[in-house]
Chains A and B, each alone.
Chain A
Amino acid sequence: MSGKPRLTYLNGRGRMESIRWLLAAAGVEFEEVYLETKEQYDKLIKDGFLLFQQVPLVEIDGMKMVQTRAIMSYIAGKYNLHGKDLKERALIDMYVEGISDLMQMILMFPFSPPDAKEKNLESIKERATNRYFPVFEKVLKQHGQDFLVGNKFSWADVQLIEAILAVEEKVPAILSGFPQLQVFKTKMSNMPTIKKFLQPGSPRKPPPDAHYVETVLKVFKK
């Protein structure tokens, strides 16, 4: 039997958070190793754990997986969250990639210089409101189903609920023009595995703070 997947990253969201969400949504328990010092990170590299010298790293099913997308595709495929055929997979991939572009803006936000923060926040709000959320609002409205693709819970739904909550932390009223997404948010939040992940004490990480930014800069210093 395989052991639980083991995640190596900093003790914070970053690029690992979407992986935590997906594992949690699939009902998969996992372990975590937190990088706190540059020495720890250098040792991982020296010991050959990191294919491209980068984290996230997820040890799963005998593999040392790196590259966030590769990891998530594997998890989605393994736990039947990647659609029933190639066309559903294509839709899920398109949706996930779009959301991921939005999440990338949020990922980089804590590292913006202080004088750029307001502008970047405005960009996040603008993109969410004009480019990304309208797409999913329309998808849900048109088919009237609970889930984005194939009337079945998938990776796309997990990625979207994660993004909605992440944007709401920055722009609380962001869903005010999106009634379908409001309903979606409630439905997804009430799915048993997601509900559990949203409760205190789960592996979900809090929004990045100054300490997290400091740790990132320290661990990955050249």
Chain B
Amino acid sequence: MCAKPKLYYFDGRGKMESIRWLLAAAGVEFEEEFLETRDQYEKLLQGGSLLFQQVPMVEIDGMRMVQTRAILSYIAAKYNLYGKDLKERALIDMYVGGTDDLMGFILMFPFLSAEDKEKQRAFIVQKATSRYFPVYEKVLKDHGQDFLVGNNFSWADVHLLEAILMVEEKKADVLSGFPQLQAFKARISSIPAIKKFLEPGSQRKPVPDDKYVETVRRVLLMYYDVKAN
């Protein structure tokens, strides 16, 4: 029998969070090893388990997978969250590309100066409400189905819910102009596997704080300044 997937990353969201979401949505239990010291990281590097010397890394099905997108694609396909054919997969890939770009603006947020944080917050909200949310609002309105693609729960739905919740953490009423997305959020949140992930005690990580930033900087020796978009 397959062992549980094992995730190697910091004890925080970063690029690994989307992977945690997808595994959880697929009902897959996983283990985590948290990087806390530079030494730990160097051991991983020297041991040759990081193909491009980077995390996330996920041990799954005998592979040491790196590259967030590759890992997510593999999990989606393995657990039938990737559409029924090439065209549905194309739609899912497009939608995930959009939410990925949106979440990318939030990824660097904790590393910004206080002043840049305010600028970036406004930028995130502006992009969410003018570029990204309208697309998904329209998709749902046009086909009237519960899920984004093919009337079936997929990676695209998981990724969109994750993005919605992350933007809401930056502006609580950001969905006020998006009735379809409000209904979508309620619907997807109540799917048992997702509901469980949203409860306290799950492996979902909290909003990154200064301690998280310190850890990342220390482990990766990443002391340069990060600029806002």
B27 CB contacts on chain A under 8 angstroms: none
Q: Which of B61-69, B172-180, B187-195, B211-219 contacts A (4 or more CB under 8 A)?
A: B61-69
B94 CB contacts on chain A under 8 angstroms: 51, 65-67, 70
A96 CB contacts on chain B under 8 angstroms: 70
Bound-state CA distance A68–B97 (Å) is: 9
B78 CB contacts on chain A under 8 angstroms: 86
Nearest Cβ distance between residue A47 and chain B, in whole angstroms? 15
Instruction: Provide the B119-139 mask, 1 if CB < 8 A to any CB of A, else 0.
Output: 000000000000110010000
Tell me whether A90 is interfacial, beta carbon within 8 Å: yes
Q: How many A-B residue pairs have CB under 8 A?
A: 79
B135 CB contacts on chain A under 8 angstroms: 51-52
Which listed residue, B74, B87, B93, touches A61 by the CB 8 Å rule? B87
Nearest Cβ distance between residue B152 and chain A, in whole angstroms? 18
Chain B stretch 62-92: residues in CB contact (< 8 A) with chain A? 63, 65-70, 73-74, 77-78, 86-87, 89-90
By the criterion CB–CB under 8 Å, are B90 and A65 in contact?
Answer: yes
Contacts A74-B93, A135-B51 given: A97-B74 contact, CB under 8 Å? no
Nearest Cβ distance between residue B154 and chain A, in whole angstroms? 14
Bound-state CA distance A67–B135 (Å) is: 14
Nearest Cβ distance between residue A103 and chain B, in whole angstroms? 13
Tell me whether B42 is interfacial, beta carbon within 8 Å: no
By the criterion CB–CB under 8 Å, are B69 and A69 in contact?
Answer: yes
Which listed residue, B65, B89, B98, B132, touches A74 by the CB 8 Å rule? B89
By the criterion CB–CB under 8 Å, are A93 and B73 in contact?
Answer: yes
A sample of 8 more A-B contacts (CB under 8 A), given A74-B90, A94-B66, is: A52-B135, A67-B93, A70-B90, A87-B63, A89-B73, A94-B65, A98-B66, A135-B51
Contacts A94-B51, A97-B70, A135-B51 given: A74-B97 contact, CB under 8 Å? no
Tell me whether B52 is interfacial, beta carbon within 8 Å: yes
By the criterion CB–CB under 8 Å, are A67 and B52 in contact?
Answer: no
By the criterion CB–CB under 8 Å, are B74 and A90 in contact?
Answer: yes
Instruction: Provide the A97-137 mask, 1 if CB < 8 A to any CB of B, else 0.
Output: 11001000000000000000000000000000001100100
Tell me whether A77 is interfacial, beta carbon within 8 Å: yes
B63 CB contacts on chain A under 8 angstroms: 87, 90
B53 CB contacts on chain A under 8 angstroms: 131
By the criterion CB–CB under 8 Å, are B89 and A97 in contact?
Answer: no
Tell me whether A43 is interfacial, beta carbon within 8 Å: no
Bound-state CA distance A131–B53 (Å) is: 7
By the criterion CB–CB under 8 Å, are A73 and B131 in contact?
Answer: no
By the criterion CB–CB under 8 Å, are B51 and A73 in contact?
Answer: no
By the criterion CB–CB under 8 Å, are B70 and A94 in contact?
Answer: yes
By the criterion CB–CB under 8 Å, are B93 and A52 in contact?
Answer: no
Tell me whether A211 is interfacial, beta carbon within 8 Å: no
Residues on B close to A: CB < 8 A?
51-53, 61, 63, 65-70, 73-74, 77-78, 86-87, 89-90, 93-94, 96-98, 101, 131-132, 135
Bound-state CA distance A150–B98 (Å) is: 31
By the criterion CB–CB under 8 Å, are A73 and B89 in contact?
Answer: yes
Q: CB-nearest residue of chain B relative to A101? A: B52
Contacts A74-B86, A90-B70 given: A52-B65 contact, CB under 8 Å? no
Nearest Cβ distance between residue B138 and chain A, in whole angstroms? 10
Which listed residue, B66, B74, B93, B131, touches A69 by the CB 8 Å rule? B93
Bound-state CA distance A74–B66 (Å) is: 21
| The 7 nearest A-B residue pairs measured at CB | A67-B97, A70-B93, A93-B70, A97-B67, A94-B70, A74-B90, A70-B94
Q: CB-nearest residue of chain B relative to A93? A: B70
Contacts A97-B67, A97-B69 given: A86-B74 contact, CB under 8 Å? yes
Tell me whether A1 is interfacial, beta carbon within 8 Å: no
> What are 12 pairs between A and B in contact, CB < 8 Å?
A51-B98, A52-B132, A52-B135, A67-B97, A67-B98, A77-B89, A89-B73, A89-B77, A93-B69, A94-B51, A97-B67, A97-B69
Contacts A69-B69, A86-B77, A89-B73 given: A78-B86 contact, CB under 8 Å? yes
By the criterion CB–CB under 8 Å, are B131 and A135 in contact?
Answer: no
Nearest Cβ distance between residue B220 and chain A, in whole angstroms? 14
Q: CB-nearest residue of chain A relative to B135? A: A51
Instruction: Provide the A56-91 mask, 1 if CB < 8 A to any CB of B, else 0.
Output: 000001010111111001100110000000110110
